[in-house]
Amino acid sequence: MLIGAVSKQTGLSQKAIRLYEQQGLIRPQRIGRYRHFSAADIDLLLLIREARALGIPLQRLKAAIRYQNQQPDWSTLRTFLLQFRGEVEAEVMRQQQRLQQLDHCLHSISDCPLLPAEKI
């Protein structure tokens, strides 16, 4: 499949697809002047699009994408995504703790007899 069709199928601009190739994230086959994308290339582009929407930086993706026999190593990518999920869970826990601390502070202020009611 050529880049124009891949762009329509993935929702990515041709410029973004070329950038991902330049960065080494994808490896389409070249025949003459044209890039030919396989089904695996399209799957990887869709994964990259979703990962970027989740805020995963390109450099981290690049470090996670490995190839075996000209095909993406999906097990390595799965391991990376599981690790990233753990990082997101840890961040959620940190934010929940901050919310609890804020609630405690708000509760303490509300119960303080020294503060006038109109200031609270």
Residues 6+ apart with CB under 8 A from 25: 44, 48, 58, 61, 62, 65
Of 66, 54, 57, the C-alpha closest to 26 is 66
pLDDT of residue 37: 96
pLDDT of residue 115: 67
pLDDT of residue 70: 84
pLDDT digits (tens, 9 = 90+) for 88-116: 999 999 999 999 998 888 888 877 666 66
pLDDT digits (tens, 9 = 90+) for 7-45: 999 999 999 999 999 999 999 999 999 999 999 999 999
The answer, yes or no, to whether residue 120 has pLDDT greater than 60, is no
Is the distance from CB of 88 to CB of 55 less than 8 angstroms?
no
The answer, yes or no, to whether residue 118 has pLDDT greater than 70, is no
pLDDT of residue 106: 85
As given in the structure block, the two tokens for residue 108 are 């303490």
Is the distance from CB of 56 to CB of 24 less than 8 angstroms?
no
Rounded to whole angstroms, the maximal C-alpha distance in the chain is 80
pLDDT digits (tens, 9 = 90+) for 66-86: 998 888 999 999 999 999 999
Distance of CA 82 to the CA centre of its chain: 12
pLDDT of residue 105: 85
